[in-house]
Amino acid sequence: MRPVVVKIGGGALAGGALEDLPEVLETGRKVVLVHGGGPQLTRMLDSLGITTRFREGLRVTDARTLEVAEMVFGGSVNKALVRELGALGVPAVGISGTDGPTFLVEPVRDLGRVGEVARVEPRLIEALWAGGFVPVVATLGLGPEGAYNVNADAAAAALAVGLGAEHLFLLTDVDGLLKEGKAIPALTPEECEGYVADGLAAGGMVPKLRAAAEAARGGIEARIMNGNKKGAVAGAIAGERIGTLISEGVVAR
Ligand code: ADP
Ligand code: MG
């Protein structure tokens, strides 16, 4: 059984879909969680009087912002998620992508300390799995000048490809890529960019669709779905039609 990568968005951090994990793990499936924490970081930066700027959905990250991002993503957000999983009976260990190192990144031009995953090194994740733990990965990566901030959707997709995962679940606070209030059931990777170009997907949905498309091109079934809905993860693994599925094999219907 190929592994499952679950990305949890800032708005869905305490969501009900995580309650499926004990059941999924019982089937022997290997699971790794990846999380963002943008809203939490913005709140902390505000309280420190540091202004936040975005370019095409990506945070411009100077050295100070990076320092705070590492505190928030690798610290408070990561540890809260690990505790939450512990309360569900899931033995979890929080790491950052710079541990191992797991994410090796290349700097993204003009965004400061923002990186793109160039290589995934799975040894630490595999060691945690071997010990019976679920890794919870904060999306920072190691690059030429130290730690870099990595978009969590993109990092989750790179990890899914690097691990040869079967599923990538992008859990968020909406039911999928919404059109007229309803989630589009299925898309090919080629169709994703069209929805970015025509403006249906905006803001945080843009990097999410692009990440899903990248994973789909790597042979993974990527789904954008609501992390607040209990049963979403277990249901999708069981083959239910939930959220928006992005995959190479999708037949238009
Ligand atoms: P996450 O923290 O899960 O990454 P984001 O806020 O980054 O969440 O991205 C999800 C958001 O994308 C939604 O809450 C919504 O505001 C926005 N969005 C923009 N266009 C769409 C769309 N067509 N369908 C659904 N959500 C959309
Ligand atoms: Mg986002």
- For residue 158, the CA-to-ligand 1 centroid distance in Å is 20
Q: What is the pLDDT of residue 252?
A: 44
Q: Is the CB of 202 under 6 A from ligand 1?
A: yes
Q: Which pLDDT band, with edges at 50, 70 and 90, does 86 fall under? A: very high
CA–centroid distance, residue 204 to ligand 1 (Å):
5
Query: Who's near 47: CB < 8 A, 6+ residues apart?
Result: none
pLDDT in tens, 196-242: 999 999 988 999 999 999 999 999 999 999 999 999 999 999 999 99
| Banded model confidence at residue 249, pLDDT cuts 50, 70, 90 | confident
Plot region of 210 (φ>0 → left; ψ -120 to 50 → alpha; else → beta): alpha
Element (H, E) at 106: strand 103-107
pLDDT at 253 over 50: no
Q: What is the pLDDT of residue 250?
A: 56
Q: Report the separation in Å between the CA atom of 18 and the middle of ligand 2, taken as the mean of its atom positions.
A: 18
- Average pLDDT score over residue span 131-160: 97
High-pLDDT (> 90) share of the chain, %: 89
Q: Is the pTM of this model over 0.85?
A: yes
What are the residue numbers of the active site? 7, 10, 38, 153, 208
Residue 68 CA to residue 45 CA, distance in Å, equals 7
Name the residue at shortest CA distance from atom 17 of ligand 1.
205
